[in-house]
Amino acid sequence: MHIVIPDDYQNVIRTLDCYATLNGHQVSLYHDAVDDVQMLAERFADADALVLTRERTRIDEALLSRLPNLKLISQTGKVSSHLDVDACTRHGVAVMEGRGSPIAPAELTWALIINARRQLFPAMQAMYAGRWQVNLGQRLAGQTLGIWGYGKIGQRLARYAQAFEMPVLVWGSETSRQAALADGHQAAASREAFFAETDVLSLHLRLAPSTRHLVTAADLALMKPSALLVNTSRAELIAPGALLAALNEGRPGFAALDVFEQEPLVDPNHPLLQHPGVLCTPHLGYVEREGYELYFGDAFANVRAFFAGERCVLANPQVIAKT
């Protein structure tokens, strides 16, 4: 069969151990970011299966209508808004999901917190430019870490905070708040108190219709001028334009971001990249070798099982798959 894997930005998928499981099949890999439907249709024209890297390629009605040969989309991780599952069902394309892991995104979140608080990036830039000790960072001990979303990533982050002697304040569903209390942390008395009392606020919510643009300008205005907002989840959790406007107003004073409304973000003049209070990374939360082995190992196993006629768990079980 012909398997197409788009968006291998770093050209690393061939280096994964799990890639060997595709031996004997025709595999086409692409290493650029493309959102043009015509170009994608040409690349995917004779594909039997697509293996999608998280949410990098949008698959919708317009594209699927040009892919009569496509039988399966194997998604690394979980399906999100980039993939129109209903349209896949109408076009007879089965969809299979994989697993995720909280380890890499939690570690990346903590790296951003440390870097932003200690102001390492500008200090390193200055050193490479021949200057010595140009700024003064802050320690984490004693600062309150606010976590919105106390799932697997949020819980791991809270354990990191304990090691760094940071009190943890949690906001989210009643279940999340009760779980935080059971783990010995604090639950915020209100949404307003959560934004007002935290020194470092980290978002760990899934993007869904109920969470899209959940964080508003009014929320951000409650934050301390010294506070740091960290987002390694989804940019769309925050109302459009609200964060940049809030930073320009000085509440919060700082942000560390791994996710953006438009990705890939390659314009060096983008306001967030130019802002002195913002630290940015290029959506690296899940991008590390062990995580890739997990994501693509699952995705490749799903492809093999589907075409071997084995019993498969589909995200759209009602689909009448193409033969």
- Choice among 54, 117, 251, 283 that is catalytic: 283
Question: Is the alpha carbon torsion for 43, 47, 52, 53 positive or negative?
Answer: negative
| Per-residue DSSP letter, 22 | G
- Give the span between the Cα atoms of 35 and 23, in whole angstroms: 29
- Choice among 42, 61, 263, 290 that is catalytic: 263
Helix 103-118 × helix 120-128 angle, to 10°: 70
Instruction: Confirm whether 54 is a catalytic residue.
Output: no
Identity of residue 257: L
- Give the span between the Cα atoms of 123 and 32, in whole angstroms: 32
Closest C-alpha among 53, 39, 95 to residue 70: 95
SS3 for 10?
coil
Backbone angles phi, psi at 209, to 5 degrees: -55, -35
Instruction: Confirm whether 263 is a catalytic residue.
Output: yes
Instruction: Confirm whether 236 is a catalytic residue.
Output: no
Burial class (CB in 10 A: 0-12, 13-18, 19+), 233: buried
According to DSSP, the residues that pair with 145 across neighbouring strands are: 168, 200
- Choice among 56, 185, 234, 251 that is catalytic: 234
Catalytic positions, please?
234, 263, 283
